[in-house]
Structure 1
Amino acid sequence: MANILVVDDELGIRELLSEILNDEGHSVDLAENATQARALRANNGYDLVLLDIWMPDTDGVTLLKEWAMGGRLTMPVIMMSGHATIDTAVDATRIGAFSFLEKPITLQKLLKAVEQGLTQGLRPPQAPAATAPLAAQTAPTSQPAQPGLPTASGPAEVTPATRTESAPTGHQGFDLDRPLREARDQFEKAYFEFHLAREGGSMTRVAEKTGLERTHLYRKLRQLGVELGRGKRGY
């Protein structure tokens, strides 16, 4: 899960991007202008930012430049616009933007850009190469340890040859040998069916239990194909 900031002055676009990214398992903060984006960035660390170019108070390119000059451009930034020129996109890239998405943004392009941006943002520190102790360097060579037997330097070694158990393909009735999105949809459907059955089909109580707004809950249930009959049991 990644922490993502979406900056766009259009409410519909903010809500749509938030819903898509939340469904992908990410945590999303929303800002409708540069002022809100500055405040959120000053108080939070983000793994990725989706930044609209044309906004009423300060345009996205200017805000991107502020972050770059102030040392706050520590995460990939994907610029978005429906009216930007090629020159604008090139300028944003030169300042430090990771990529550019042209509106209207398709689901496939959005998810691909987010995945690439998060991958680019992962920069794990390289661990220094371990140096063997002097005693180990000068110790006489001994016979190689047999798999599964204790050695003089530590506990028994386990090599791939000694692992005979098969890899699990399922857990708690869920088929894990499938794409992540399908596995998540299977779990979410079972999750909501369980709460609907326990609450006797009451959408109000299910919304309270799951922490979702009723509108979002209805949309999610329709998306998952969950039947909305009252009083269902046996899940």
Structure 2
Amino acid sequence: MARILVVDDEVGIRELLSEILYDEGHTVDLAENAAAARALRAAHRPDVVLLDIWMPDTDGVTLLKEWASQGVLDMPVIMMSGHATIDTAVEATRIGAMDFLEKPITMSRLLKTISTALERGRSGTRPAAVAAPAAVRAGGPAAYAPPPVTSTVGAVGADYGRPVQPAVAERPVPATLPADAPPRTPLQDLSLDLPLREARDAFERVYFEHHLAREGGSMTRVADKTGLERTHLYRKLKQLGIELSRKRSV
């Protein structure tokens, strides 16, 4: 498919975008800052770059200007931000950004923008003017603000955070079971004495692991079965600490 460079200082966003793009068949390189982005861009010329605007060392707009001034802005660049102003979005487009994604980023918007960028990159078409997101056009910062975190884990969606450890209480198991006893289920091992939030997290973990196993790891079918949009499904699995196998199907 394509080689995509994701540049974002928040590890949670990098991992989530990587999982989504990997499932779509793309090769993904991850950079946590401008220095890493420079090195990866030089080592592996990407087909598309997803570039966050606000980063602690060198911000995305400055890096975009640098690439443009050096004559190496020869790939489509899609800017990302959860709190950009209209001036920032317009400036990035003027410099040469192909498009602008407002966080939280939906699956459909992400994949559509990537597809458009790849088509333009293959045809060599110059990027058209990009309209600022609705929240930015309203004047001032977008409504989204990343949740406070105690580590570098960030959020593509509003509730993404540190993975929750499974809260399954241990119960004594009889030494022998009757021959006709039905097999125990994970739900029978959940303790009702847990605080509500821990009990809910434990139930959701069992629930999603059940559907992942039932659907052979297909994220598309699990999303359909559970009624979640795939971006939210990825976030929920990460939040619950459920490991996602690289070999699963989409």
2:54 equivalent in structure 1: 54
Aligned to 2:243: 215
Task: Give 1:215 shift.
Answer: 2.1
Deviation at 1:28, TM superposition (A): 0.3
Asked if 1:114 is matched to 2:142, the reply is no
Hey, what's the Cα distance between the residues in 1 that align with 2:24 and 2:216? 15
- Provide the rounded CA distance (Å) in 2 between the counterparts of 1:190 and 1:56: 37
TM-score normalised according to structure 2 size: 0.52
Matched with 1:16 is: 16
Determine helix, strand or coil for the equivalent of 2:116. helix
Q: Could you say which structure has the larger radius of gyration?
A: 1
Counterpart CA distance in 2 for 1:45 and 1:32 is 17
1:103 aligned onto 2:103: yes
**Partner residue, 1:31:** 31
Superposed CA deviations along residues 116-151 of structure 1, whole A, max 9, x for unmatched, are 000100027xxxxxxxxxxxxxxxxxxxxxxxxxxx
Q: What is the letter of the counterpart of residue 6 of structure 2?
A: V
Q: Which runs of 5+ in 1 are unaligned?
A: 125-187, 192-213, 225-235
Q: TM-score, normalised by structure 1?
A: 0.55
Residue 190 of structure 1: how far off its partner (Å): 10
SS at 2:244 equivalent: helix
Residue 90 (structure 1) aligns with: 90
1:20 deviates by: 0.5
Q: 1:106 to 1:190 in 2, by over 3 A?
A: closer
Distance 1:116 1:220 in 2: 27
Query: What amino acid is the match of 1:100?
Result: F
1:27-62 Cα shifts (integer Å, max 9, x gaps): 000000001001111222110000000000000000
Q: Which structure has more RCO (C-alpha within 8 Å, separation ≥ 6)?
A: 2
Residues matched between the structures, number: 137
Cα distance in 1 for residues equivalent to 2:7 and 2:107: 18
| C-alpha separation in 2, matches of 1:102 and 1:49 | 15
SS in structure 1 at match of 2:51: strand
- The one-character-per-residue Cα deviations of 1:88-122 (angstroms, maximum 9, x if unpaired) are 00000000000000001011110110000001000
Give the alignment of 1:51-200 within 5 angstroms.
51-123=51-123
Q: Which amino acid aligns with 1:215?
A: E
Give the root-mean-square deviation of aligned CA atoms: 2.4
Measure, in 1, the Cα distance between the counterparts of 2:67 and 2:90.
Answer: 17
The offset of 1:77, in angstroms, is: 0.2
Distance 1:190 1:108, change over 3 A: closer
Structure 1 residue 216 displacement after superposition? 2.0
Partner amino acid, structure 2, of 1:63: L
Cα-to-partner distance string for 1:132-178 (whole Å, 9 max, x where unaligned): xxxxxxxxxxxxxxxxxxxxxxxxxxxxxxxxxxxxxxxxxxxxxxx
- The 1-side partners of 2:26 and 2:217 are apart by 21
